[in-house]
Amino acid sequence: MEKVKAALIGCGGRNGVHFQKLSVMEDVDLIGFCDTDVARAQAMAEKYGSGKVYDNYKSMLDDIKPDVIFIAVPPHQHGEIENAIIDLGIPFQVEKPMALDLGVAEQILARVEEKGLLTNVGFQDRWQNLTETMKDFCQEHTPVVVRGSWLGGIPGVWWWRQQETCGGQIIEQNIHLFDQLRFLFGEPESVYCAGANGLVDDEYGMPGYNLDLDYSSAVMKFKNGVVATLFTGCYNRPGAKVTNGMTVYCKDGTLEYSLRSTLDIYTAEGQTHMDRGEEQTGIMDRVFIDAIKTGDGSKIRSPYSDAIKSLKLTMACNESAVTGQVIKL
């Protein structure tokens, strides 16, 4: 396969990043742009390619035959789209969270495995040079406890304000840090999460806002003995100062990771500072395109079969916050 024919379902902000990365790859042709807002699809097509424009994915799948499809739609819309793509035997990349119903995700996974399709889920932070350095450091040293946070303001998109369309802050956004923890330390054995709502009131000017949790704290114990705490929230008003990322305390060293920005390593030898290198989405997309060309998915770091475990972890956090119980994984 000399050139990979790629199509995109959802032409909003996240797929816009994929468009930009894919458009500069000489072995990729962007042949289809689909969005319910056809003007947005047209704008993306004019900016990043010369492919056809569609206002619904069914029309696109009936008309063109891509080698791979990139899906970036609101979380509650997953399921039907993936199944239609699987029916045609087309590999796909999907943004997180890949579903808000675990049963839907498990059904998709079963069909993907039955068909033997290559997949990737958008946990791009696994491809950061900072994450890779942290993983190497933790393999050589002994990680013990972790403290992390993802705190910020309320995203502007309408579907994020409703529990039934976004799944809540833990699932919709902080799933990235939960996934990084799994990438660094392996699988957790239990999680306990406490949180509350009522903080985001009418002063925020967010009509329809009904998230179950405005803020939360989750404590996880990993099978290798690491204990990690993650704070989650989207309530900050302008001017609030937050430090997002994580600190990993090892037996003989410390990692201070600033979210998608810097990493400071402290050992007996002193301090080492690192900045983030190449933007990680492009690296992830390059690896996935190469996998499509060769049929070898061994270098994909977040196939659907692995990514579903991060979804299960964040769903367990929500369950724990509601029930007040420790959830065994």
Cα–Cα distance measured from residue 76 to residue 79, given in angstroms and rounded to the nearest whole number: 8
The two three-digit tokens of residue 109, written as one number: 């996974």
Q: Which uninterrupted H or E stretch holds 57?
A: helix 57-63
Q: Which uninterrupted H or E stretch holds 172?
A: helix 169-172
Angle between helices 175-185 and 304-323 (to 10 degrees): 120
* CATH code given to domain 4-124+281-303: 3.40.50.720
How many other C-beta atoms are found inside a 10 Å radius of the C-beta of residue 327? 20
User: Domain limits of the chain?
Assistant: 4-124+281-303, 127-277+312-328
CB under 8 Å, gap of 24 or more: what pairs does 301-304 form? Answer: 301/123, 301/126, 301/127, 301/183, 302/120, 302/121, 302/122, 302/123, 302/126, 302/179, 303/118, 303/119, 303/120, 303/121, 304/94, 304/98, 304/108, 304/109, 304/112, 304/119, 304/120, 304/121
177 alpha carbon, distance to own chain's centre: 9
Cα–Cα distance measured from residue 146 to residue 290, given in angstroms and rounded to the nearest whole number: 34
pTM to 2 decimals? 0.97
Q: In what order do the strands lie in the sheet with 262-267?
A: 270-275, 262-267, 253-258, 245-250, 143-152, 227-234, 215-222, 188-196, 327-328
Q: One digit per residue, pLDDT tens: the chain, 329 residues?
A: 789 999 999 998 777 899 899 999 999 999 999 999 999 999 999 988 779 999 999 999 999 999 999 999 999 999 999 999 999 999 999 999 999 999 999 999 999 999 999 999 999 999 999 999 999 999 999 999 999 999 998 888 889 999 999 999 999 999 999 999 999 999 999 999 999 999 998 888 888 899 999 999 999 999 999 999 999 998 888 888 888 999 999 999 999 999 999 999 999 999 999 999 999 999 999 999 999 999 999 999 999 999 999 999 999 999 999 999 999 99
* CATH code given to domain 127-277+312-328: 3.30.360.10
